[in-house]
Amino acid sequence: MTVLVTDKIRRTAKLLCALGRGIPIVSSSWITQSKSAKTVLDPTHHLIEDTETERKYGFSLRKSIQTASKTPLLQTYKVHATKCCLPPPDQLKEIVECAGGSWLKQMPKKKADDVVIISCREDKDVLNKAIKAGFNVQDKEFLLTGLLKQQLNFKLYALSTVFD
């Protein structure tokens, strides 16, 4: 896709993929105005305005799109997600790849600085194994909020406690 049309910012796989690639996210008025002008208008001048969501997550859509279009957020990372994560691993794979990251179908045997494991309490056995092995294990918010802000916060979303 080259433009995403929506009525508000929602953390859907499509929106996060568009954001990860630095693609303009616009309102339907862009289509209407393009039709009236009888030409496709520059979508970057018609970005969706959703100040409530931007305030809630502490980001600027315009800045995030500009940042992502220059440097993909996950370009130096390999990511694996455990099976019970939400969004599900197949959607996370798409989001990760759109943000320039590499998808790992299986958890690696050895930890590496460029590997991130996305997990959740529901996957406690695999989660505990990953934590004990020294992997960088993160909650889904690491990716979801990280993509909105175009910043990775390794401390805030780290899962470093073994769960019973």
Averaged over 130-135, what is the pLDDT?
91
Burial class (CB within 10 angstroms; exposed 0-12, middle 13-18, buried 19+) of 152: middle
Contact between 74 and 164 (Cβ < 8 Å): no
Residue 48, SS3 per DSSP: coil
Q: What is the pTM of this model?
A: 0.90
How large a percentage of the chain has pLDDT more than 90? 90
| Phi-psi group of 58: left, alpha or beta (phi > 0 → left; psi -120 to 50 → alpha; rest → beta) | left
- Determine the pLDDT at residue 105: 95
Taking the CB of residue 131, how many other CB atoms lie within 10 A of it?
A: 20
- Determine the pLDDT at residue 164: 59
Express each pLDDT in 143-157 by its tens digit.
999 999 999 999 999
Instruction: Say how many residues make up the chain.
Output: 164
- Determine the pLDDT at residue 55: 97
CA-based end-to-end distance of the chain = 43
- Determine the pLDDT at residue 34: 95
Q: What is the mean pLDDT of the chain?
A: 94
Burial class (CB within 10 angstroms; exposed 0-12, middle 13-18, buried 19+) of 51: exposed
H and E: helices and strands count for the chain: 7, 6
- Determine the pLDDT at residue 160: 81
